[in-house]
Chain A
Amino acid sequence: MAESEEEVDVLVQRVVKDITNAFKRNPNIDEIGVIPCPEARYNRSPIVLVENKLGVESWCVKFLLPSVHNKLLLYRQRKHWLDREALADITCTLLLLNPDFTTAWNVRKELLQCGALSPEKDLYLGKLALTKFPKSPETWIHRRWVLQQILLQSSGRSQKDPQSEEERADGEQSRRLNDQLARTLHQEMKVCSDAACRYPSNYNAWSHRIWVLQHMATGNVKVFHDELSSTRLWVSMHVSDHSGFHYRQYLLKELIAELSQAAASTTTTTTSTGVLQHMCSTVAGISPPHHDQANGEEAGEDGRQLSSTALLQLFHQEVELCTDLIQSFPGHETLWSHRRHVYYLWHDWRREHKHQCHRGSNGGSEPDRLENGDEGPLKACAQSPAGLGEDGVNGPRHAGEAMEVDGASLPDPRNSKRLKRGALPPGAPALPSEHGFVSGILDSDCDPEQRRFALAYRKWLDTVIVQHP
């Protein structure tokens, strides 16, 4: 059925209007899609809104897209004027059908800049586009631009002249700002997570997630730790998702950087102490130690021990997770790749840590035992992960240690001291135990792919780690 240009134009204008109205009627639309429907039914709109899903019948898409596309380009070439509202509606329709159309996003940037659109609208539009096109590079790129505008706006507001506001109002406003940013941050985490579910190993989604933390959560140990917790189950159910595991590597790396800094400094703030205590207490029901903040030096030492112990816990938990998954799901390259990364982070941290200790005044006559040769009180992480829980990082209980507690067990302060000496606490990753792990896999597992990856891991240990002590 051939249609004249005028008929097409009328149809298109109607459809664009229908889409705009659908959003007005239902501000909670959370998914878009194309409904397979080869024939137009007389006088019925191709726009279908059911519950919170917005659908476009497929018969109209081949008219709709080229028409709005060309309209926008005529505007861009100044051959045809469109007012702001029309631009907003047309670009919305366009981007829901073809979100990689960069120029359409740029038009919306200009609308944002002159106040005709709010940043939240574009975050919402992007979120919808991602339900159908979870990888769309241009959508993620535009999203980052919008977030930068939001960050600029809020940093502008928080720098208001203090003399023009009451102290209390200032505090409230900055609290509100922080709440708003926190909400935006968590929304981004959710958008990334949804997109990651929709497409396996979604590089763009996970890399965006990292970008958001880099720009909105710098140095925020609590956020990094929460993200580690909240993604643990997800990666366990997506053991091929290399990007998901890389995200955890990123989080670990950031936590190491932050906690190492804390360990090296002479004081710790109350906030980070609280988070550290929480981190230490998330394993084996330890209740966090109290300590007397009045004595700065002691508090500093406690903070350092707390940081080191928290780091040990992190490594221990990650290696345990990796081990469990490798054993439960044989033959997944991603899991072995993750093990390399985690081991490397550990190896690198140990190297840094040793240098820090030597730089400090720790009675430097302690022998420096390299982890390669240190068999010490080690238990292979893999061989008895369950056993590790009883006797691992916590160590046997000791009453009358430095910290006063109400009777519960606590992170073994001897571990951080062991670290300083260059020795390893029980259960920590180490070359001999990693080789033991590989041998265990080779001896027990028949899966040829698992063998291949185990051997490659061993080769990697011998080549990369051994050559960079």
Chain B
Amino acid sequence: MGTQVKDVIIKPDAPSTLLLDKHADYIAAYGSKKDDYEYTLSEYLRMSGIYWGLTVMDLMGQLPRMNRQEIVDFIKSCQHECGGVSASIGHDPHLLYTLSAVQILCLYDNVDALDVDKVVEYIKGLQQEDGSFAGDKWGEHSSQRLYSIYDSRLHPSPQGKIDSINVDKAVEFVLSCMNFDGGFGCRPGSESHAGQIYCCSGFLSLTGQLHQVNADLLGWWLCERQLPSGGLNGRPEKLPDVCYSWWVLASLKIIGRIHWIDKAKLRSFILACQDEETGGFADRPGDMVDPFHTLFGVAGLSLLGDEQVKAVNPVLCMPEDVLQRIDLQPDILS
């Protein structure tokens, strides 16, 4: 009698082709159909929600369908006096939404819609003594924040702002989050987690410190995330989730070990997560869709080489052509 492995079973009639038009329609209409309650519940992360929606539209070549002016105006009204940006109007500013705002404006080649100097000042002010960054003035810090800061710090001006933050200390903090299994947790001593691994690898890439990663060891941990269904989980004995198909896959790409997973099986898992009726991707086949999983499903397929979708940068999860425009090419191990 075998154990029930934590995994999903992909039904034979699951979607097996990429339904790009349906996904574009889904994202374009998102928000207009949401009733007050649902939309209000997620308002605390609205800026990130917009980033997910716009990025996936751009990857699908459908960005013009979104209302550029409305979004840029919205972002402007979310920048606070301290320089930080909030998730939505009236909410408190935070590093995560500052990052999302900068990424959105990069897509639109309109970063100067924000007071860039103030953004840098805000970020600089969040660095702690141990090199980590607080998410906001209240002080909670983690390695995830680091990725955010470095990312958004780079966008305003790739050259020149590098001395605003103490990069060495920040690197030191990230490395202190490295565990014996090669992975990274959210704080020193925390459990390795695919999302944290993505943030930390991304950070080390942006700071030219990828050589500090034990690529073979980490690559092994990452490829052990692949389950019989082809999907990837974030930690041992968790169910597969399309967003981990991004965090894990992109990490493998960054450390040059993407060939260690079974690409064909992963692709069929991701495709099975589509909803043929509503468009969009869910975390796993049969569940409800949302923009978050839609982005990471499409981005994952792009990394796997799907030519119907634009090439995506594994470090920043943005179209490569956007990064080429601002001349930003983070390191990747081969």
User: Are A334 and B92 CB-contacts (below 8 A) given A100-B44, A109-B138, A145-B140?
Assistant: no
In the complex the two chains form, is A242's CB within 8 Å of B138's CB? no
Q: How far is the CB of B290 from chain A (nearest CB, A)?
A: 15
Tell whether, in the assembled complex, residue B44 and residue A331 are in contact, meaning their CB atoms are under 8 Å apart: no
The reply to whether A332 and B3 form a contact with Cβ atoms under 8 Å apart is: yes
A98 proximity list for chain B (CB < 8 A): 40-41, 44
Within 8 Å CB of A332, what residues of B?
A: 3, 237
Q: Which of A73, A348, A450 contacts B89 (CB 8 A)?
A: A73
Give the residue name and chain of the B residue nearest to A102 (CB): B44
Evaluate contact between B90 and A201: CB separation under 8 angstroms.
no
Please measure, in the bound complex, the distance between the C-alpha atom of A76 and the C-alpha atom of B87, giving whole angstroms. 14
Within 8 A of A (CB), among B184-232: 185-187, 189-191, 193, 217, 224
With known contacts A69-B43, A242-B237, A332-B237, A106–B138 Cβ distance under 8 A: yes
Instruction: Answer yes or no: A118 CB below 8 A from chain B CBs.
Output: no
A interface, size bucket: 35 or more
How far does the alpha carbon of A345 sit from the alpha carbon of B237 in the complex, in Å?
22
CB-CB < 8 A to A344: which residues of B?
Answer: 180
| Interface residue ranges of A411-469 to B (CB < 8 Å) | 447-450, 456, 464
* Complexed CA–CA distance, A101 and B91 (Å): 9
Distance from B86 Cβ to chain A, minimum over Cβ atoms (Å): 8
Is A207 a contact of B186 with CB atoms below 8 Å? yes
Judge if B2 is at the interface, Cβ distance under 8 Å. Answer: yes
How far in angstroms is the closest Cβ of chain B from A340? 8
Give the docked Cα–Cα distance between A253 and B179 (Å). 12
The answer, yes or no, to whether A131 is at the interface (CB within 8 Å) is no
Q: Tell which of B181, B186, B191 has the most Cβ of chain A within 10 Å.
A: B191
Across the two chains, which residue of chain A brings its CB closest to B217? A464
Chain B residues 82 to 122 lying within 8 A of chain A, measured CB to CB, are 86-87, 89-92, 94
Nearest CB of A to B200, in Å: 15
Question: Which B residues lie within 8 Å of A65 (CB)?
Answer: 37, 40-41
Given contacts A145-B139, A333-B236, contact A103 B92 (CB under 8 A): yes
- A317 vs B140: C-alpha distance when bound (angstroms): 36
CB <8 Å contact, B2 and A66: no
Number of residues of chain B lying within 8 A (CB) of chain A: 40
Q: Are A102 and B94 neighbours in the complex by a CB distance under 8 Å?
A: yes
Name A250's contact: one of B5, B139, B181, B189 (CB within 8 Å): B189
By a CB distance below 8 angstroms, the chain A residues around B136 are 106
A242 & B238 in contact (Cβ 8 Å cutoff): yes
A340 to B135, CA, bound (A): 34
Interface contact B92-A102, CB-CB below 8 Å = yes
> What is the CB-to-nearest-CB distance from A386 to chain B, in angstroms, rounded to a whole number?
25
**Min distance, Cβ A207 to any Cβ of chain B, angstroms:** 5
List A residues 322-364 near B (Cβ within 8 Å).
329-334, 337, 340-341, 344, 348
The answer to whether A106 and B44 have CB atoms under 8 Å apart is no
A residues near B90, Cβ cutoff 8 Å: 73-74, 76-77, 103
Check A61/B238 contact, CB under 8 A, given A331-B2, A448-B2, A449-B5: no
User: Of the candidates B36, B92, B139, B191, which one forms a contact with A242 in the assembled complex, judged by CB atoms under 8 Å apart?
Assistant: B191
Q: Which of B22-43 contact A (CB under 8 A)?
A: 35-37, 40-41, 43
Do A331 and B5 have beta carbons less than 8 Å apart?
yes
Asked if A62 and B37 make an inter-chain contact with CB atoms under 8 angstroms apart, the answer reads: yes
Q: Are B3 and A210 interface neighbours, CB within 8 A?
A: no
Does chain B have a CB within 8 A of A211?
yes
B138 near A145: Cβ-Cβ < 8 Å:
yes
Bound CA span A148–B186, Å: 18
Is B89 within 8 A of A203, CB to CB?
no
* B265 adjacent to chain A (CB < 8 Å): no
Q: How many angstroms between the C-alpha atoms of A211 and B191 in the bound complex?
A: 12
Interchain Cβ contacts within 8 Å, total number: 107
State the CA gap A258–B117 with chains docked (Å): 47
User: In this assembly, does A214 line the interface, its C-beta being within 8 Å of a C-beta of chain B?
Assistant: yes
Q: Let me know if A182 is at the binding interface, CB within 8 A.
A: no
Interface residues of A in 38-70 (CB under 8 A from B): 61-62, 65-66, 69
Cβ distance B160 to chain A, nearest Cβ, rounded Å: 32
| Interface assignment of A135: CB less than 8 Å from any CB of chain B | no
The answer to whether A242 and B217 touch (CB under 8 A), given A66-B37, A206-B191, A331-B3, is no
The complex places the Cα of A109 from the Cα of B185 at a distance, in Å, of 27
CA of A253 to CA of B5, assembled, Å: 29
- Tell me the B120-155 residues at the A interface (CB within 8 Å): 135-136, 138-140
Residue B161 is within 8 A (CB to CB) of chain A in the complex: no
Q: A61-B37, A207-B187 are in contact. Are A330 and B3 (CB under 8 A)?
A: yes
B6 at interface by CB-CB < 8 Å: yes
Shortest CB-to-CB span from B213 to chain A, Å, is: 15
Would B180 and A66 count as touching, CB distance under 8 A? no
* Pick from B140, B180, B191: contact of A144, CB under 8 Å: B140
- The answer to whether the Cβ of A225 comes within 8 Å of any Cβ in the partner chain is no
In angstroms, Cα B220 to Cα A378, docked, is 31
In the bound complex, do residue B35 and residue A62 qualify as a contact, i.e. CB atoms below 8 Å apart? yes
Indicate whether B169 reaches chain A with its CB closer than 8 angstroms: no
Q: Which residues of A contact B43 (CB under 8 A)?
A: 69, 101
CB contacts under 8 Å to B, within A181-222, are 201, 203, 206-207, 210-211, 214
List residues of chain A with CB within 8 A of the CB of B91: 73, 76, 102-103
Shortest Cβ distance from residue B36 to the other chain A in the assembled complex, whole angstroms: 5
Do B235 and A449 have beta carbons less than 8 Å apart? no
A66: chain B residues at CB < 8 Å are 36-37, 40
Q: Which residues of A contact B94 (CB under 8 A)?
A: 102
A100 CA / B35 CA spacing, docked (Å): 19
Nearest CB of B to A9, in Å = 15
Residues of chain B within 8 A (CB-CB) of A450 are 3
**Is there a chain B Cβ closer than 8 Å to A141's Cβ?**
yes
- With known contacts A207-B185, A448-B2, A103–B36 Cβ distance under 8 A: no
Interface flags for B146-182 (1: CB within 8 Å of A; 0: not) read 0000000000000000000000000000000000110
Q: Which of B221-280 contact A (CB under 8 A)?
A: 224, 235-238
Shortest Cβ distance from residue B176 to the other chain A in the assembled complex, whole angstroms? 13
Q: A76-B91, A103-B91 are in contact. Are A203 and B189 (CB under 8 A)?
A: no
Interface: A277 (CB within 8 A): no
B interface list, Cβ under 8 A from A = 1-3, 5-6, 35-37, 40-41, 43-45, 86-87, 89-92, 94, 135-136, 138-140, 180-181, 185-187, 189-191, 193, 217, 224, 235-238
Given A62-B35, A240-B237, output 17 extra A-B contacts at Cβ < 8 Å: A69-B43, A73-B91, A103-B44, A103-B90, A106-B92, A106-B138, A109-B138, A138-B44, A141-B135, A144-B140, A203-B191, A250-B189, A331-B2, A332-B3, A333-B237, A448-B2, A449-B3
Would you list 14 pairs from A and B whose C-beta atoms are within 8 A, ordered by A residue? A73-B89, A77-B89, A102-B91, A106-B136, A145-B140, A207-B191, A210-B190, A240-B237, A331-B5, A332-B3, A333-B237, A341-B181, A449-B2, A464-B217
**Which residues from chain A sit less than 8 Å from chain B, CB to CB?**
61-62, 65-66, 69, 73-74, 76-77, 98, 100-103, 106, 109, 138, 141, 144-145, 148, 201, 203, 206-207, 210-211, 214, 240-243, 246, 250, 253, 329-334, 337, 340-341, 344, 348, 447-450, 456, 464
Q: Give the 9 A-B CB pairs with smallest separation, nearest first.
A: A331-B3, A73-B90, A246-B191, A62-B37, A333-B236, A240-B237, A66-B36, A141-B140, A66-B40
